[in-house]
Amino acid sequence: MGLLAVVAAFRRDAGDPQAEDVECLRRLAAGDGDAAARLYDRHARPVYCLILRIVNDEGDAEDVMQEVFAQAWRQASRYDPSRGAVAAWLLMMARTRAIDRLRARQARPVADALGDEHLDALPAATRDAAADMIDAEQAHRVRRALEELPLLQRLAIELAYYEGLTQREIAERLEEPIGTVKTRVRSGLLKLREALAEGQS
């Protein structure tokens, strides 16, 4: 290994939040309580904010936080970095648990699309492993792009992601052909992806 490669590797390891998270999980799996606290401190805020946005109730949000981190402790040894960053993994668990809570509260059946097995079934990452982590500025740009989408595209995406409705449920609610809803979800997401890419280039 050349000197430059070594320095580059260490630069990556030392400054990359993902590398620190992976180290946290490794120590967590070995029963290190400090690593548990560290993982919580690094991610509690975005995870909590997402849960609160979905369940819209502070008491429920705190219950779900406990479930999400308990799941993270349990599954720390099974985390696979090739499937995406630890931050994205935690947010995905948070979203799944929060939607479960929302559905239970609304007495809606829990969609088959959600649950632990869904997480395990995800193919090599919901994130491009080469991409940097999404920061506040990128989230802001996507939020603005979402705001600029045609209203029905935006609602379709919001209903799917934050309310946990399947495309079929959205179509039923709007009394519209499912094809129309699918097109809206797809076109909306592609525009959001463009907005995200603008800032990365």
- Looking at residue 201, what DSSP letter applies? -
> Does 131 interact with other proteins (rule: CB under 8 A)?
yes
The b-or-e profile of 3-22 (16+ CB within 10 A means b, else e) is: eeeeeeeeeeeeeeebeebb
Judge contact between 165 and 159, C-beta under 8 A.
Answer: yes
Contacts of 31 (CB under 8 A, 6+ apart): none
- How far, in Å, CA of 176 to CA of 127, rounded? 31
> Does 104 interact with other proteins (rule: CB under 8 A)?
no
> Does 73 interact with other proteins (rule: CB under 8 A)?
yes
> Does 117 interact with other proteins (rule: CB under 8 A)?
no
Q: Angle at the Cα of 143 (from 165 to 181), degrees rounded to 5?
A: 35
Residue choice 107, 109, 151, 201 for contact with other proteins (CB under 8 A): 151
> Does 198 interact with other proteins (rule: CB under 8 A)?
no
Take residue 97 and report the two structure tokens written for it. 């648990």
Cβ at position 146, least distance to other proteins in Å: 7
Window 34-63: residues binding other proteins (CB under 8 A): 34-37, 40-41, 44-46, 48-50, 52-53, 62
Residue choice 21, 91, 97, 100 for contact with other proteins (CB under 8 A): 91
Biggest CA-to-CA distance, the chain: 63
> Does 144 interact with other proteins (rule: CB under 8 A)?
yes
> Does 78 interact with other proteins (rule: CB under 8 A)?
no
Window 163-192: residues binding other proteins (CB under 8 A): 163-168, 170, 173-175, 182, 185-186, 189-190, 192
Cβ at position 152, least distance to other proteins in Å: 6
